[in-house]
Amino acid sequence: DGGITQSPKYLFRKEGQNVTLSCEQNLNHDAMYWYRQDPGQGLRLIYYSQIVNDFQKGDIAEGYSVSREKKESFPLTVTSAQKNPTAFYLCASRKTAKESYTFGSGTRLTVV
């Protein structure tokens, strides 16, 4: 079955270390997105990409970086510049402009 795979489900890192969250989709979707969710809050957009080798900043891009070298993959790096990286991170994808977004199961990042 097609879907979005986010790995790992739980991730622990020490403060000051960069960490990369994986997002892979086999849905042949063009657009991919990264969202951050804090406890009891809605989702906030970090970065998004409509096509390979192109991406745009979302509302809270500071301290994060992304790449889109392949259509299937959109990894997110949380850098040491991100002041409060502990959060739940969700990856999503979409085929065309009017279709629903498909979400992965998320990665819960804890920085200690």
Partner 1 sequence: AQKITQTQPGMFVQEKEAVTLDCTYDTSDQSYGLFWYKQPSSGEMIFLIYQGSYDEQNATEGRYSLNFQKARKSANLVISASQLGDSAMYFCAMREGAGGYNKLIFGAGTRLAVHP
| Binding of residue 20 to partner 1 (CB under 8 A) | no
Q: Give the one residue of 11, 30, 79, 80 binding partner 1; rule: CB under 8 A.
A: 30
Tell me 73's DSSP state: B
| Binding of residue 98 to partner 1 (CB under 8 A) | yes
Identity of the residue, 44 or 71, whose beta carbon is nearer to partner 1 in the bound complex = 44
Instruction: Determine the distance from the C-alpha atom of residue 42 to the mean position of all C-alpha atoms in its chain, rounded to a whole number.
Output: 15
| Binding of residue 22 to partner 1 (CB under 8 A) | no
Neighbours of 41 (CB within 10 A): 10
Identity of the residue, 23 or 90, whose beta carbon is nearer to partner 1 in the bound complex = 90
| Binding of residue 92 to partner 1 (CB under 8 A) | yes
Tell me the residue type at 79.
Answer: T
Spatial distance between the Cα atoms of 74 and 61, rounded to a whole number of angstroms: 15
Spatial distance between the Cα atoms of 100 and 33, rounded to a whole number of angstroms: 13
Q: Give the one residue of 8, 41, 69, 81 binding partner 1; rule: CB under 8 A.
A: 41
List interacting residues with partner 1 (CB under 8 A): 30-31, 33, 35, 40-45, 48, 50, 56, 58, 88, 90, 92, 96-98, 100-106, 108
